[in-house]
Amino acid sequence: MTRLVMVSNRVADPGKDSQSGGLAVALGDALREYGGIWFGWDGRIDDTPAHQRVALNDDAGYCTATLSLTQQEYDGYYNGMGNNVLWPILHYRLDLAKPEKAYTDAYMQVNRRFADTLRALVQSNDLVWIHDYHLFPLGAELRARGCGNPLGFFLHIPFPPPDILRAMPDCEAIIRALFSYDVVGMQTAGDIANFKRYITDQADGTIDDAAGTATAFGRTITVKAYPIGIDVDTFRAMARTDEAEGVIDRLQRRTSETIQIIGVDRLDYSKGLPERFTAFQYMLERYTGHQKGVTLMQIAPPTRENVDAYSDIREELERRSGAINGQFADFDWTPIRYIHRPIARRTLAALFRGSRIGLVTPLRDGMNLVAKEYVAAQNDDDPGVLILSKFAGAAEDLQDALLVNPYDTSEVGEKIAEAISMPLGQRRERHEALLARVRANDVNRWRSSFISDLSRAGEA
Ligand code: ADQ
């Protein structure tokens, strides 16, 4: 019997509402279907010998196997290599990358420790699916420990062109490690094209486009785009409960006579939030008739606050939203409502449905599930307009959104004005096309196409 072994940096807590309904649920469903284990960090720091111990739990209908990190591992592997090196570089932000040898060492050390523990948990028929940039080397470490199982890797964030990628410390070793997997999946065709360019130009490898394979370092692997999606019907239903109606009603009473624009992002420099505020300011300055007629609600919960770049962006956003509100607000209207904390997913779904414009303008994003959630939540007969950055992976598929260059704040401002005045017929046409794409590439397709390619690799 084939089981699935899922591995990610953090193992999701199925009890948390902010996670339920998202990727955590999709992966949890796959584990319930196949049986198996979800392995990774439990999110805790523990400097006692107990951090070595793996904790098993099967409360969620599948087994989780988790480890704690020591403070030194957390600082080097997670905060250092993960947040200060790989995340900025893979998001094209070489200016924010702070590579240090201690980080690379800790990164390898944690990947080796994970491999030691995981090796003992993997059974001979298991499919092993490893997620994201924290764990690039894990497949190679498992192979070094004699693991012959089908190994798959999926990168959730962008894969940049070779010249940017080469800023990664030990870049060649990391790419070589990817060839220990049988299937390497990325979000978009653009990411795959960048990967293939690295293989042909820097690794002396070859590509077979028809077969979807790359050959280098003595191995041939499947390399494909598997665009991640959402559970469309579940999210649509969440936006239509009695509770959701109550939220929308309250929202519309508070903002009567105004058009609501919504932005929902983790507070991260990759999400283009200061530029978004400036674009909104541009629109208010240029289209004075829209003043008092439109409100931007930006929900941006904190993440990674102990990294300087994140506290900087928080301060910048507070300054910018304060300045814009100071410039335009009146006793009966506040242009920007900035909420700096997590909101329950069911409330988010209702807020999406109650908002005429979804503003999703990352400077760079692997996919961006918020764009898809916004589309799914809309009323089919009176839908809102999605404004989407052309640098989000989602733009490859969602061509019927109003696509924008997020760096060009006047262009984004003009598109906001266009969205405000878009006639119902055009809104419906665009929404119908967008919803069809969101449905075509939903989370079930993402999961099952990856797993079936991985099983095929196992048979081969
Ligand atoms: P993220 O960078 O986190 O994910 P995204 O794809 O938008 O970005 O997913 C965020 C999720 O968190 C969405 O489901 C959203 O609804 C939820 N969320 C955001 N703000 C919230 C809030 N205030 N309260 C509660 N929930 C909130 C990474 C990559 C993306 C890629 C995903 C999945 O950076 O590019 O799309 O993984 O692969």
Per-residue pLDDT, 254: 67
**What whole-number distance in Å separates Cα of residue 449 and Cα of residue 437?**
16
Residues 6+ apart with CB under 8 A from 48: none
Per-residue pLDDT, 388: 98
User: Do 164 and 194 touch, CB atoms closer than 8 A?
Assistant: no
pLDDT tens digits, 173-215: 999 999 999 999 999 999 999 999 999 999 999 999 999 999 9
Ligand 1 proximity of 348 Cβ (cutoff 6 Å): yes
pLDDT tens digits, 47-92: 988 878 899 998 888 899 999 999 999 999 999 999 999 999 999 9
Per-residue pLDDT, 20: 42
Rounded mean pLDDT, 387-393: 98
pLDDT tens digits, 272-282: 999 999 999 99
Ligand 1, residue 393: give the atom nearest the CA. Answer: 35
Residue 332 has pLDDT above 70, yes or no: yes
Please tell me the distance between residue 360's alpha carbon and the centre of ligand 1 in angstroms.
Answer: 11
Please tell me the distance between residue 264's alpha carbon and the centre of ligand 1 in angstroms.
Answer: 8
Q: Which residues are catalytic?
A: 156, 365
0.85 surpassed by pTM: yes
Long-range contacts of 24-30 (CB under 8 A, 24+ apart): 25/231, 25/234, 26/231, 26/443, 26/444, 26/446, 26/447, 27/447, 28/60, 28/61, 28/62, 29/447, 30/4, 30/6, 30/447, 30/451
Ligand 1 proximity of 441 Cβ (cutoff 6 Å): no
Per-residue pLDDT, 14: 61
Ligand 1 proximity of 22 Cβ (cutoff 6 Å): yes
Coil, strand, or helix at residue 257? coil
pLDDT tens digits, 120-160: 999 999 999 999 999 999 999 999 999 999 999 999 999 99
User: Do 365 and 394 touch, CB atoms closer than 8 A?
Assistant: yes
User: Do 418 and 402 touch, CB atoms closer than 8 A?
Assistant: yes
Ligand 1, residue 299: give the atom nearest the CA. Answer: 23
Calculate the average pLDDT of the chain: 93
- Give the CA dihedral 249, 251, 253, 258, nearest 10 degrees: -130
Ligand 1 proximity of 142 Cβ (cutoff 6 Å): no
User: Do 301 and 267 touch, CB atoms closer than 8 A?
Assistant: yes
Q: At CA 80, angle to CA 145 and CA 389, rounded to 5? A: 105
